[in-house]
Chain A
Amino acid sequence: MGYLDGFRVTFNRLFEERVTTEYPQEKRPKPERFHGRHVLNRYEDGMEKCIGCELCAGVCPAQCIYVRGADNPIDDPVSPGERFGYVYEINYLRCIHCDLCVEACPTEAITESKMFEFSFANRQDAIYTKDELVVDDDGKPQRQPWELWHDGDDALTSGWMRATAPSGSAAHVGQVGWSGELGYGVRSPELGQTAPSDDDPDGGQG
């Protein structure tokens, strides 16, 4: 057969399932614990979860987070408690998406979405302010003009992304250890790494 042998591979592949996706028109599901850009969550009643404690800024190895707290106005509180996050900025030119901020957050205010497709025309845009990071009134992240979103991408936000279980115990698998969230309510428990991925349309069966 000579040179035709070389085409055998090609012909065989013709009848196999195609693995190439037409990115960016088409996106593949992201892994369960994918680290994308952050969102600042709110409670189901609309209160912000961030209390401005600066633990995320303190733990950040890239020093890309700048937080300042302020006294919560008693008549119109922003978050429950005395203190709220008055300034919250993340510089995505520095962020390495290590997720330590999510680990450090005592209120599950900051979580990472699976959205990573953003490009900026200037450095200022790379600094996401609190207005941009906090979820909207439906609990969905706010779309920035420089971000590539498809329909449904905004639903891929939040989700419990903490790598360690409370107290580090395997006994907690299946138990919900976090509070309700605007737009999502109380999320189902994390079932370990073999469990269906959040954003897998067929529930991880395929």
Chain B
Amino acid sequence: MTDIGTPIDWAPGFIANTTPKIVSGRFEFEDSFTIERAMATGAYNGLKAALAKTPAAVHDEVRGATVLGRGGAGFPAGVKWGFMPPDKWPRYLVVNGDESEPGTYKDRLLMERDPHQLIEGCLIACYATGLSQCFLYVRGEMPLAHERIAVALNDAYEARLVGKNILGSNFSVDIVLHWGAGAYVVGEETALIESLEGNRGMPRLKPPFFPAAVGLYGQPTIVNNIETLANLPWILSNGAQAYAEIGSESSPGTRLVAVSGHVKRPGVYEIVNGLTTFRDLIYGDQYCKGIRDDNELKAFVPGGGSAPWFTPEQLDVPFEGREASAEGSMLGSGAVIVMDETTDIPTAALSLTKFYAHESCGKCVPCREGGTWLEKILTRVVKGQGSPRDLELLLEVGATICPGDFPHASSSRLGLEAQPFPYKMTTICFVGPSAFAPIHSALTLFPEEFEAKLTRRDTIPLMSMPVADATGTDESVGAVS
């Protein structure tokens, strides 16, 4: 192992290194997505181990392992499963494969490279919670993932691993594969449920409709992320204890992190949860090997496009949810976007804001109108047509989307204290605040870059935009000839 960290040709973007492999174990095989390879490398052993226990015991095992949700919120899966009302049937498992957070592409690899691990995870989750119907929602832009899961599902059905009386037990599950139509907001669980029901992918308000109580078709529903479920086979095969031994106490196991941007070796890495720091990830030899051209690091987004930004001051924060929150951001969906000293910060913020404004579903007003308005103001500033008033306006418009203090990292350069995560919001889901997050971070941490772009020093009196220049009028008007 002289060359630690090996890119794998057939898993584009994935880089294997020496950390423990919980979900990416099978990636090293070129044919990892076939049932033959999967069976040969221990797939469905976790399921077998689960079937040997009672569902409650499996549930306890998962709860004991503290598998934090990998979709963004980081809520423990085992606890989430317990929220369903005990007497309401039927109930469903919905698997959220609508990974579309900017910078995130780990679930795509899991779906494309190891569909059987995912199916096994679904089955274990269903067994633990007593479900018999599972829906697998795959993002519309991922045809290969869709195709591989479809093939894997067919094979699994044929091998009696899915369907009636799985592996001879009296446990039966049907898995329905659903292909989305391509909308970022559908990654939000209630919008995903709406989309699955055949409606427009618009989030529902929670409360009162937490999916665990009122979800798909009005029934109790668990919505889990792909990576969360992919952890389950390993846990059942190796035990919760072994899982908890990897990583920190509060964030056990490993997690996949996708790094993009100005690093020498961008890619997806399986890192040790809770212990690996951003410095390890960006500068570590078995990870990204430093900034391109050995430039200086300017800023990085620690948890997908919607997360507030970190600066080099936060490089030593580990991948641990609470610590990241205290520092003013979140780990989100496991995507790090790195910006070096050559980055034009306002433009970078604009490109992220543009995405969220475009991806607004249009349901609630702050996101639909505010997001686009933010984009328009910022565009003006980036084009060099802004005034100081525009910078204030950006923050004021953002304050209507997210009232109160918005989280940001500390900056000794500017003398800023960190404002911890999370924020308050007037929208239903996180798309609206996400349009504001990059602007707020950029403007708070790099105000001088915005000010440098301002050309108009004056402020426009808003209600009295002159329709004509007073000096250009006809002098003869009003004179009696």
Contacts and interface: CB of A to CB of B under 8 A. Distances in A.
Q: Is the interface of B mostly helix, strand, loop or mixed?
A: loop
Interface stretch (B69-77, B97-105, B359-367, B470-478): B470-478
B478 A178 contact: no
A198 interface: yes
B412 interface: no
A188 B480 contact: no
Interface of A: 152, 155-156, 159, 166-167, 169, 171-172, 174-180, 184-189, 198-199, 201, 203
A152 B461 CA distance: 39
15 contacts: A152-B480, A155-B481, A171-B464, A176-B466, A176-B473, A177-B466, A180-B468, A184-B477, A186-B472, A187-B477, A188-B475, A188-B477, A199-B480, A201-B480, A203-B479
A175 B461 CA distance: 12
Contact of B473 (A171, A187, A199): A187
B461 A198 contact: no
B481 A176 contact: no
Contacts of A185: 473-474, 477
Given A152-B480, A156-B480, A188 B464 contact: no
B414 interface: no
Interface string B441-481: 00000000000000000000101101111101111011111
A175 B463 contact: no
Given A166-B464, A171-B461, A175-B464, A189 B470 contact: yes
A89 to B, nearest CB: 29
Contacts of A177: 464, 466-467
Contact of B470 (A175, A179, A198): A175
A188 B481 contact: no
Given A172-B464, A175-B464, A155 B480 contact: yes
Contact of A179 (B467, B469, B480): B467
A179 B479 CA distance: 19
Contacts of A171: 461, 464
A35 B481 CA distance: 22
A135 B445 CA distance: 61
A143 B199 CA distance: 65
B461 A176 contact: no
Contacts of A175: 464, 466, 470
A186 B468 contact: yes
Shortest beta-carbon contacts, A-B, top 5:
A198-B478, A188-B473, A185-B474, A186-B468, A176-B470
Given A174-B470, A185-B473, A166 B480 contact: no
A156 B479 CA distance: 9
Contacts of B475: 188
Given A152-B480, A159-B478, A166 B463 contact: yes
Contact of B464 (A167, A180, A203): A167
Contacts of A166: 463-464
A59 to B, nearest CB: 21
A187 B470 contact: no
A188 B464 CA distance: 16
B471 to A, nearest CB: 10
B187 to A, nearest CB: 42
B459 to A, nearest CB: 13
Contacts of B472: 186
Interface string B11-30: 00000000000000000000
A111 to B, nearest CB: 13
Contacts of A186: 467-468, 472-474, 477
